[in-house]
Amino acid sequence: MDLSGILKPGAVKVIASASSKKRLLHDLGDLAHGAYGLPADAVVEALQERESLGPTGVGHGVALPHARLDQLDSVAGAFILLEKPVDFDAVDRQPVDLVFALFAPLDAGVTHLKALALVSRTLRDANLRKKLRANPDAATLYAILTTDQGVQAA
């Protein structure tokens, strides 16, 4: 499993700012709708439901919101770079500017966990985070996420 199998180029976006965590989740819903045809409302509701269990801000400006949806056959991802970070109730209390959302089928089981672990490992790399923040262009961000990841796995 690699990020190019989870993330479509059309599921990567740069947003100047989000006024709140809730607004950011709506942006993710819109992005998932545009890239994968998922119903935006269902995506937002599932993400909010997951966030109510505990925030998915993992630290270092990174959030990994995720949800299971019955409209999917395989794991799919969406990435947003925020030019202005937003409070996401992260574990380190730092605002978030790198957001990688994962959407999985209801019955994904271990596949969902493997995808989450892959994204987490990838975004744990300080150099990769620095590259992402320095390149506010969706196509470049996609290339960084899908090519650098393979190097890290080696």
Question: pLDDT per residue over 118-144, tens digit each?
Answer: 999 999 999 999 999 999 999 999 999
Catalytic pick from 26, 60, 66, 112? Answer: 66
Within 8 A by CB and 6+ apart from 127, the residues are none
Enumerate the domain spans of the chain: 3-153
pLDDT at 154: 33
In whole angstroms, what is the distance from residue 133 CA to residue 72 CA? 30
Question: pLDDT per residue over 66-114, tens digit each?
Answer: 999 988 889 999 999 999 999 998 889 999 999 999 999 988 778 888 9
Bridge partners for 104 per DSSP: 68
Q: Is the pLDDT of residue 56 over 80?
A: yes
Helices (H), 37-125: 40-53, 110-124
Question: pLDDT per residue over 14-25, tens digit each?
Answer: 998 888 999 999
Catalytic: 33?
A: no
Task: Assign domain 3-153 one CATH number from 3.10.450.50, 3.20.20.120, 1.10.3720.10, 3.40.930.10.
Answer: 3.40.930.10
